[in-house]
Every structure is written in structure tokens, then in C-alpha cells.
Structure 1
């Protein structure tokens, strides 16, 4: 399926080719910091890093924070999250002995024990040492139905660009003479045992302006890339690119599809057949989510009318694969339609059922959907699954080879638990529980609502001590995301709990618009020139907290990453009086030139484009880089990014810091040289970034 840019897609390296016109570089004195790995830019980074490392790592609290964060990240009693493959339980695992990670397996029976015996099939630390690279795990594509071969995705240092290598799960070795695809932003799917569908950089004129492949070819085992046969070509002007997806079910049905991402949220879907490609009459804002008993599952983000049926926005529907193949009029059957406070959070197909995870007023629910004897005519049955309340529930693993599945449950104060379930008889049983990582004694979780500038009620959660004084004296940190229809839901943030909550401080999660907490409408309320409402929502939550005297501006800090980093930059500019600490992580900040940087051109659907006058005018009003003002009493922000981020790019953070320096505004800047957009090169990097961030908040909100 088409993969969301902010999660799994392979993004672009620094490029401006074909992007809309931007302001004259002479108007931007820091354009040179956009030179991704240029020597001058990297010298600047080195000097900035030296000052920030000294400010944070010399703080007496840093060593303890780092030690605790690393211990949590590398603890060997974490839950080994399962992958159901070939009747085994696979898991990718990192700890102090394996900082980059190992891929390993055990039997289903052994997995259910307290101390499973694991067999390692791939050791990334050993591979990196042998090859002189820092290989980072980016997943694997498994060949069905036998599930004995995989295409392993490996990233050098954490970039979205990956190399593909064929791996034999039976022998635990790379296949000699097998598929070995060099590094690119690429996506793949097994067409058959000797053929893959491959979208990648095939050379000049095969990548969109945002750096995604738009040409898909078939590649045979043993053939060089030059021998691959083109089957589809999108357009260089597409905002995203074209990607393959393979669907199969437990009844033996199998089909290959292509997604053409014309825009970020709007795609064309094609069925791959022996006679060629067939464009499918599906909504532009829809995605295929699996297949059960020949019924293809389709999740929509817009209303869909077909065959006399109206599928509401944000629903899950099914149509027969046979109808897609024959070209007959589709008559979708609605499996789930949300109300105004619900949204779909996850869909998984098993051999004979569908597991559906939803958010209901930002609380997790799960149901099992089962096709009746004639699903196309008789529909589907629905059965709720009984699981803990007031938590986030996610589908950890499922497979179309059986009805077995695993569900993960977590809350702010409830460590993650893993539940096994047979979808044919959905009575889950807890099989794993992560030990508590921080002392939650005396802590409470409350959900409140703030009123935004247009009167809309914005929910938020606050975790605090039950005996907290309501006098505004409690140090508090708040986060949110607010974009791309991505929800933020309760989770067990062990490091935040250990390093922040244990000391009597508070944590807030704001469910602002732009995200997916309440479905597509909640997201679309803040698209493009309507985006100011997202920023108003965030400020309204802070003001509500202050009105309740749960904290105060002097004791209040905020943080967010990627699109959430943009949110932080805007709030830094628009409401400097509301916060005393602002952490801006791997951010977008120059919204006038964002289309020129890394994969920025792919996000025009979300932010708008400077090529459209009205959208340019709005972007000029919110762009954090463009709206820093001399003489304003800003809180000194902490801006961090990574050199290996080939998705958003470190350029935004660099230029923002440079402008602050020019204006004499205090700040901290740090750029880690590895880790990609997620800062995930190894567990030490994650612990370091967490510890430095917490030192910053401690200095700003608790005092020296």
C-alpha cells in the first residue's frame, strides 16, 4: 500500500529539481546551510554541537538521565513484539549487547513462556562491523505463501533510502546470487518467487520532484537492473510517487496493485494483470487494507458512492476481488462507519476475519468482523473484543495464514501488555506484560477539554500527582502533532515517566485538529490556509491548563517533532509568553522554501504551495523562520535534528538557529550525525537525545 511519508516511505535526498519557484536566494542569507553535507555547513554544525553538548552533558543531571534512559531502552525484560511468519514468531531486538539489533525467531509455544529460546537469523551489529557500514533495520518483505524468502530493507545510518537484499529464512543467510538491489528511495513487492515489482531510482527522469520513484518495473532473479521491464510510469509532477502492494488471503486469492500518489492524500489505484494494468474505480482518498475470503478491504478518507451504496468518510468497506478483476460496477459493503468521535486506528486481515482497532473519544476499542456465508450479499457480522479500557490498543501482529493475532494494550500509567487472540473465537488472553519502568504511585490521569478560538472543544490528557497543588507551580511539558491525519493517543512513555513524572512533574497530550483522533474531518479542519486553527487549538489547551492552575507559563514547556516541530516553531513565534521551554525536533521551519528541501514537495496537500498566491500569503504568516522578530522576549529554544534525515532534512533547523543567532536571541542547537528522521540508528543515540532534552526542560522549568 501507499506508505505515509511521515512513517515508512522512502523520502528524497536534498533536491530542488522541478519544485515551485521560491524566494530569491539573495533574500536568504542562510541558504548555504541547505548544503546538506557541505563542508561549510558541517563546520557550522560542529561548532554549534560543541556549545550545546557542553551546556547539557556537563549538567550534573545528565549522567543519571542518560543512564536511566539507556537502561529502559536496552532492558532485556521488554516485550519482544511478535511477527507471525511461517508458523514462527519473529522479532527484531535491540539491547546493550545488540545496539543495532538482531532479527530472530522462536516457536509459538516457546514464545508463550516467560523465557523463550531465540535463534538469531541476522545480526546487524556483526554485519555492520564486517562491511564497515552502520546498517539500520527498515523491515522486510516476505514472499508468500511459503514465507521462506524475504527482501530485507537496510539503511545506512538511518536514512529512508535503503538497500534490498534477499534473505533465506530457512538457512538464516543472504541468498547467493539472489536479489541484491543497491541503495535508493525504493519500494518492492514479490510478484512471484523469481520476480519482484520494484519502484526506485532507475536513472535520470524516474523520480518525482519530491524524490520518490514514479516508474515501476519487474525484475527477474539474476537479472541486472538494466534488464528490468517497465510496467507503469507515473508523472514527474506527481507529489509522491508510485508504489506496489501485494494482497493475499487465507483462501488462496492473491493480487498485485500499484498506488500512484498524484498528491499526498489522493492516489490512483491499479490492478496488475497478465494483460496489463487496470485502473480501479476507487476513491482518490482510499487505501487497500487487506483481503479476506476474496473480499478486498478498503479504508476511505472521503465519501464514496458506488452501485447505489454511499460509504461515509472514514469508513471501512469491502468489495469482491472478482468485481475488481471483471470491471463490473462495485457495490461496496460497509463494515464500519465511525461516528463524530471515532476513527479507524488499525485494520488487519486474518485467515477468515478482520480485526479492526478504533479510537473512541481517544480511547482504544477492538472488534472482529466476519464475512457471512455470502459476504457480498449477506454482509459481515461484528463482535466486540473485551480488553482494558482507557488505553491505546494496537494490532501487534496478524497473518492471513491463520486466525491467530496479538494485540498490544498500553496507557499513560499502565505498562504495555500483549494479548493473544484467535479471531475465530475472540476471547483474548494476556501473554506478556512489561514491568513498570517508573513509580506511578500517587499519579493520576485526567481528560479535560479546552475551547478553541472557534468554539470547538479540544480534548487533552494530563498526567499529574494526585496531591498536586493547584497553584500553577508544577513543572509541566506538553506535546501534540496536529497533522497528516495521524492521531496521538495514550501510551506508556517509560522514559518520560522515569525522568520527569517521578520527580513530581506533569505531562500533557493535546489532541488538536490536523491529526486523526476523530477521523478525516478533524484532519481537514486544519488543511492548508485553514491551518491557523491547529495552532489556536494548541494555545487554547495551554490557556485552559493555566486557568485550572495546573501549571503556569513560567513552569510550562512544549515539544514536538517533524510536523510537530513546525507546530513548536509556530507556537514559539505566536505565543512566546505561554512557555518557558520549547523543544523543536527534526522540524519543518522554513515554510517558504520547504518545497525545495528534501521531500518537502510531497506535502503540498497538507501545507499548500508558494506557487498558489493565497497559500503563499498564508505560509508567510506562519513560517517560523520568516517570523522571528528582533526584540521579542522568547524562551531560549532547544532545536535538534539529524544529518541523516533525508525526509524533512536538517536544513530547516540549521537556518532557524542561525537566524536566532543573528538576532541575538538565545538558543541551543544540536545535530546528531546519524539516525535519520527518527533518530533510530542505535539505542545509545535515542538515550542521548532523550537525556539532553530532559536536561533542557529541567534547567528551564525546575531551575539550575
Structure 2
């Protein structure tokens, strides 16, 4: 999967925690029932543009400026944060949520192991460490040795270990460093035997894979350095593949592949497990459409690296998704949606120039998410109604057996190498933190590599999947999680509804300490698999983007109506949350149905749909949103843009906007402008506040202490307005 799409999927933020019971859900706190909240003064400019014959006001455009360099924006943020923190300090459940989330997060957590030679590399967090550490074992049963501890990299804990990969022989470790939540990465190398860092350092990498070429060096993707002072706002173009040889300066890196005539195209490289091929995948946006090229590294090395990097095109034209799986000699496998909107597995023999694609596993009823070769088998990871199904087949596609997962949940990983029958995978659900399993495909034996010790009983919580009809009759899946005593009694309780609905991203079951705290408090959690996501393949995605985007909002609104109609939540007890594209979702549905929701939390949302493509990664999103400068797309975007459709004169739910100052994925100006517009409009007595985190970005790399504080603030706010109260 291209790193940019992987980054999109990783953009979902987790939720919030304390035993609470429902009181009158329509209660207005006394502090706000008598008068409208006093917000900080915000400068309002008389800026109006005429776009396609329509006058569009943008009085808060000055808030798009970088908060790190613009003193007036920084002052506005400080004043807004002060008001928000004063209000949050009055919430009676805030300290309870913070304490309970902290307790729920205080357990040993492991990441999926990765092999390098005979060594096993894995991440571990003892519980409340701000950042996970990287450990290594010399053998499966060996004692762990600490390799990297990011907790000492910054006083505030906001510098994180992002990605990492051992060389094939396990001698070296390549890793990327993320600072303050930014998408920019610094690449460094460690000598595994000594644990000492090497002098190698690469800057301006972003949306990159980490791909070793033997133990000599690695391939990576980078952009040209941005203009001075523009690193967090400037649009990025001209990504290229480079080779860095160990022991040399970045200035000596070799350019491997670039498309200067197509500056909007991005590229990333993956080296196959046997080191024979480098596979370059190129894409122009967020859509699953790419081109594929290969480099015969074996031939390149034999030639003594003379003649550059000979590249052969396998797939040209940005028409379909081609996900490289692995290679064995000259044969290579791919997962593709070419002639298969729910994906199929194909292979090609590169021994001849005129090689043809051969279908190995045809499209099925479920969406094929991933394939890996482990030992002499293929493991196929399917998505059935947004839950995982894993199947083992031979290299010709003949079924062998299913991997039993036992319950609703998400399995991930299954990494491995041809010839080595060992693989690891993680399984999680809403009521189960990740357990790491080791599977030996030769023996068929599954054992536990790491299992968390919990402070709650998973069996006390009911996880169900339901289906409801949207406005146009389409059936939408919805996961519903409650304490079993609440579910069995059929009690209506305050309910948190979460959604995303975009970019072909699938929402699947997963554990969150914050959500568990909400459940322990007596609330319900619901997650709707609305259109625009990737749960059912291309058609599901297409039905929720571009001119079809309103289906996403209709699906989510229908989910809220269903929860009320079925007595899951009482009137005045429904609250909503979504991050990034999900923040856009929350902003849009609040404008369209302010009466339906008691409170809302749009996180790091895309709120100005007429200017989203002017900053950092925003230009990629035109695949899902369209082009604001094209009239047809403009009309669609103008109709739902959260910033432009705030309905003054209507009573709005309580809203807590959350963003961060170093978010260079969805720049915080989106949330700043939206919050300013909310506060300027007559929307009733409930508060409309913004919380701006410092030294944080779009979500990844956020230190544990900041995550706990934000989750406690958000859940206390949502609980206050939905009637969820401590026992």
C-alpha cells in the first residue's frame, strides 16, 4: 500500500473514560443556561470573492496563516485555548475520564514482530510511556534488548519513532523520526549489534517506504526542500525515489526515478524479500490508481551499478490499483482491482518482455484487502462486512484452510518471507486490545506471542453488528458496543456515533482505551460503515465521493435516526465524532441536522471545501472531493462545505473543535476559520469551542500524556451535553 494511503488510514484518532449513568439528556448546565458564552474577539475582514457568479465571503482567511510564525494568529489561538480550558475545568467528569483512561492504557503493549536475519524486532510500550520503544531478540525465545527509546528524544515526548525496517540480514536498522506530529520525516540508521547510531541522516522524506537494497543502502522517497518558513503549509510536488549508500552524505544520494514533467505524481519503492526486484508504484492522488515499474536489482548489481537504474514498465496509465505482494525469481504477484472492483490476485512472469497477467484467485463476494507470501503459501486477508476473514492458499490459488479468528474483529499483519513458514498477526476488537499471534504454516500451529493483561473483562461488553437503511434505501452496516447489562435491559443511554466515509478507507473493529472509558461510564459506542469508505470495494467508495458526497452525510444522519428509533439512545443523548475527512463529515451533518445531535467533536477536519487544495497534501484530495476551480465541482463543494453553510438562527448542538498547531496534513486554519464562524453566528446557548494542541499534528506520534488529556477533555464535553454522569 502506498505510504500516503497508509497515512490516510492511520489518520483516525481514538476516543475517550469513568462509570457514568444517564441523567436528563436535555439538561443545560447552569453555567450556560442563563446567557450566551462570551468568546474571544476575532477580527472579521470584509473579504468577498465572486466565484462562478456567486459572492463568497471569507472574513477569517487571515486565520489560515501559520500559527508558528504569525503573531496575530498565535494570539487568537492562545485566547481561544484559555476560554476553552476555563470551560473544560468546570466539567465534573473531566478528572474521572482522565484517570480512568490512564488506568485503561496502563498495560504492556507489543507491536508486530519483524524478522531481520535470525533477529526479531518489535515495539513495546510498558503502559504509560509517551512513545513506544523498539526492542530486538536474538531468537524467538531470547531476552529482549532495547534498541531505541524515543522517550528521551524530546522533553515534551512529542518526537516519535515512526517507521522502521531491519536489513534482510538483521545487521542494520533503518528508521524514521517524526517531530511534533508533522508529516516530514528524518531517516537514520542503527548498527544493531552495538546499538550505536551511524552517521547517516536523510531529510525531507515524506510519504516514503523504507526499502533496503542488500545491506549497502536503501531506497526512499523525498520532496525538494520547501521554501524558508513554508515547511508546514506549502504544497508538495516533485517527489522522487533516491538511493542512499550507507556511510555517505545525503548530498551523494543517487536519483533513481523521477517524473519532472509530471510534478504532481508521487512515487514509492518496495524491494522484494529476496532482494531481486525493486517495485516502484506511482500515483497522482488518493485514488487507488497507479502505475508500476520494476528494477532488476540482481542485474543492476552484477553490472557494477553502471548504466544507472534500468527501469521496466509493467503497468502504465492511472486506471487501476496494483498492490505488489512478493516475488519468487522472475514471478511476481499483485492484488488488483483491474476487472475486479472487490480485488483479485494475479501473477506475472518477468522472464520475457511480453509477459502476460495470470489470474490466481478470482474476485469473490468479499473484498480482498491484502495478500502475503509466507513459506510456500499465500495468506489472503478479506473484509466481510467490515470484519476480517483470513484464508491460506497455495501459490497457484488452491485453497488450503481458513485462519480461525473466532469473533467480530480485525486481524492485521501476516508479514513473512518466502521459504520461512513463520508469520505474526494481531487481532483486536472493540472490547479486546491487540493480541499478537505467531503462526507456523508448516505445522499449522498458532501460539500467543504477546497478550495484554487487562483491568476490565471483555466478556462484560456486547459487540454486535446491525444494518439500517439510508435515505435512498441502501443498507448500511453499523457496529454497536455496550455493556451487556445495558444491552440485555434494553436501556437507552447516551451514545457516541463515529464515522469517516471517504478515500476508500475502511473502518474496522479496534480497541481504544478512551472508548472503553465511555462504555464503562454507561454509554454506548456506534461506528457506521457509511459510503465513501472501502468496506465493499470500488462501488461503495464511488457512491460516497465527488457528486455523490451527500450520500455520506445522509448515511450518517440515518444512522443517528436509527439509534434513536431503536431506543439505543434517548432524545438529546446522541453525540458524534469524526477525524480528518470524518471531521468534515461531522461539520456537514451538524449544519444539515443540528436538531439531531446533543454535541459534536469534529477533529482535525477539512472545513473549507473551496480552498482545501491550496495547502500541503490538500492537492491529493481532489480525487475524492473534486476541483474547486471547476464549476461543476464547485457547486457540489459549496453545497456542503462546513465553513460556508453554518445556519445562523438555528439552535446548534454543543461543539468542541479539536486541532493541532503542527498539523501539516489538514492545516489547522480549517478548524480556526470554522470555529470563528461558529462563534460569530447566532446558534443558541450551547458552547462552540476550539481546543488547539501544541507540538502535535494530525494524530500520529502524539505522546500518551497528550492523548489522555485530549481524550478526557473531549469525552467530558460530550458526556456533559448527552447526560452521561458519574455514578
TM-score class, shorter: 0.7 to 0.9
1:31 aligns with 2:31: no
For residue 452 of structure 1, report the CA deviation from its aligned partner: 1.2
- After TM superposition, the runs of 4+ consecutive aligned structure 1 residues lying more than 6 A away are 8-11, 21-26, 469-472
For residue 439 of structure 1, report the CA deviation from its aligned partner: 4.6
1:243 alignment partner in structure 2: 268
Among 316, 325, 332, the alignment partner of 1:296 is: 332
Deviations 1:601-638 (A, max 9, x none): 01111111112211111000011011112111110211
Among 589, 594, 597, the alignment partner of 1:579 is: 597
Distance across 2 between alignment mates of 1:679 and 1:204: 22
1:364 aligns with 2:388: yes
Distance across 2 between alignment mates of 1:418 and 1:101: 16
Question: What TM-score comes out, normalization by structure 1 length?
Answer: 0.87
Among 67, 73, 91, the alignment partner of 1:41 is: 73
Question: What TM-score comes out, normalization by structure 2 length?
Answer: 0.84
1:642 aligns with 2:660: yes
Among 665, 690, 697, the alignment partner of 1:676 is: 697
Return closer, same or farther for 1:527/1:10 CA change in 2, 3 Å cut-off. Answer: closer
Q: What does 1:243-262 correspond to in 2, within 5 Å?
A: 243-248=268-273, 252=274, 254-262=276-284
Q: What does 1:118-517 correspond to in 2, within 5 Å?
A: 118-128=144-154, 134-144=158-168, 146-176=169-199, 179-185=200-206, 187=208, 188-203=210-225, 210-235=235-260, 238-248=263-273, 252=274, 254-265=276-287, 266-273=289-296, 274=300, 276-281=310-315, 284-294=319-329, 295-303=331-339, 312-323=340-351, 326-339=352-365, 342-371=366-395, 375=396, 379-395=397-413, 397-400=415-418, 402-439=420-457, 443-468=461-486, 473-497=492-516, 499-517=517-535
Higher RCO (C-alpha under 8 Å, 6+ residues apart): 2
Stretches of structure 1 lacking an aligned partner (at least 5 in a row)? 12-20, 112-116, 304-311
2:31 alignment partner in structure 1: none
Contact 2:238–2:264 (CA under 8 A) maintained in structure 1: no
Return closer, same or farther for 1:612/1:327 CA change in 2, 3 Å cut-off. Answer: farther
Deviations 1:236-272 (A, max 9, x none): 7554512222122xxx452012222123222221112
For residue 221 of structure 1, report the CA deviation from its aligned partner: 3.7
- SS across alignment from 2:654: coil
Q: How many residues align?
A: 661
2:30 alignment partner in structure 1: none
Distance across 1 between alignment mates of 2:440 and 2:134: 25
Deviations 1:128-158 (A, max 9, x none): 46xx9942111113322x1311221001222
2:123 alignment partner in structure 1: 92
Deviations 1:64-120 (A, max 9, x none): 2112222333423x3454333332332223346742332112355437xxxxx4211
For residue 513 of structure 1, report the CA deviation from its aligned partner: 0.9
Contact 2:129–2:151 (CA under 8 A) maintained in structure 1: yes
Return closer, same or farther for 1:243/1:292 CA change in 2, 3 Å cut-off. Answer: closer
Contact 1:438–1:502 (CA under 8 A) maintained in structure 2: no
- SS across alignment from 2:616: coil
Contact 1:598–1:647 (CA under 8 A) maintained in structure 2: yes
1:71 alignment partner in structure 2: 103
- Give the RMSD, CA atoms, in angstroms: 3.0
Distance across 2 between alignment mates of 1:71 and 1:121: 27
Distance across 2 between alignment mates of 1:432 and 1:229: 41
Deviations 1:16-62 (A, max 9, x none): xxxxx989999412111111222211111111111212222443322
Q: What does 1:652-667 correspond to in 2, within 5 Å?
A: 652-665=670-683, 666-667=687-688
Please identify, of 33-42 and 193-202, the stretch whose mean Cα deviation from structure 2 is larger: 193-202
Return closer, same or farther for 1:496/1:133 CA change in 2, 3 Å cut-off. Answer: closer
Contact 2:204–2:222 (CA under 8 A) maintained in structure 1: no
Contact 1:403–1:424 (CA under 8 A) maintained in structure 2: yes
Deviations 1:331-359 (A, max 9, x none): 322325231xx222333332322222212
Return closer, same or farther for 1:563/1:258 CA change in 2, 3 Å cut-off. Answer: same
Deviations 1:371-429 (A, max 9, x none): 2xxx4xxx544421223132222226434462211222223334433322112343423
Contact 1:440–1:502 (CA under 8 A) maintained in structure 2: no
Contact 1:30–1:658 (CA under 8 A) maintained in structure 2: yes
Deviations 1:557-586 (A, max 9, x none): 010101111111111111111110111111
Return closer, same or farther for 1:354/1:139 CA change in 2, 3 Å cut-off. Answer: same
Return closer, same or farther for 1:202/1:443 CA change in 2, 3 Å cut-off. Answer: closer
